[in-house]
Amino acid sequence: MVIKIVCLRCRQKLTAPAYAEKITCPQCGELNPIIKKPSPATSREQGKIIPPLIGKSMEKLRKLLLGNTQRLSGSSGSSSSPPSKLCALDHSVNQLPAKKRAVLCGVSYKKWKYKLKGTINDVMNMKTLLTQTYGFLERNILVLTEEESDTRLIPTKANIENCLKWLVNGCQKGDSLVFYYSGHGLRQPDFDDDELDGFDETICPVDFLREGMIVDNDIYATIVKPLSEGVTLHAIVDACHSGTILDLEHVYERDKFYQGKMD
């Protein structure tokens, strides 16, 4: 059995053995890759044609657009697709219940002089940990970096706030939520007079110089106060001044802990 192709450079017709992966054109010397397309296979059980396998890049795009899952609906036996990851931020769409959900935000500030290295790697490592070790589904994880093609997942102030609302939206007893942030953290004077040290802690979106920072009071109001009883939230914030970034009532004080051990 032979495979017939056309040279990419000179368009001469070439033939190669079925097992070959590349063939050199004798006329122009161009090395032509051989792309083998498997023929569709018939599924006897479903009576449908199974489409050929597609490349990894196309599979990744398909997962992004279609949500990477399919579920059976009710007793009718008909299948339907859940809301895609791209429409997950649309709260008007009926979301499937998610026992585990995460928002992972890495800001590198690559267009600014105070850019950070490694924040995107941090986010990808956290995503791998959640999916491979703790059973989180990829469709229930929103990743915000400056490398995302979907503009709603660029870590601007508005996008981060919207994703945090998505994180806790409709949460129920037994749910496990994760907020991870890697980026710059600052503080500003406490205008509400509710901080012991006189400062509000903040995280810095990629557009914070124009739109402002996200303060701890707002983070508390968005992802802590709305939690139902029995919902677990893990927040890991890798930033300066982040010890009280969730504005929680109780704070771990390392010095007092070790002092008690010594006493």
Residue-wise pLDDT for 119-156, tens only, equals 999 999 999 999 999 999 999 999 999 999 999 999 99
What would the mean pLDDT of 10-31 be, rounded to a whole number?
76
Q: From CA 5, how far away is CA 22, in angstroms rounded?
A: 11
Which residues have a catalytic role annotated? 184, 240
How distant, in Å, are the alpha carbons of 27, 99, 160 from that of 143? 49, 18, 10
What would the mean pLDDT of 25-48 be, rounded to a whole number?
59
Least confident of 14-18, 118-122, 139-143, 228-232: 14-18
Entry pTM = 0.60
194 band by pLDDT with thresholds 50, 70 and 90: low
Q: From CA 246, how far away is CA 202, in angstroms rounded?
A: 10
3-state secondary structure of 162: helix
Q: From CA 17, how far away is CA 72, in angstroms rounded?
A: 44
What would the mean pLDDT of 174-192 be, rounded to a whole number?
83
CATH node for 96-238? 3.40.50.12660
What would the mean pLDDT of 7-15 be, rounded to a whole number?
74
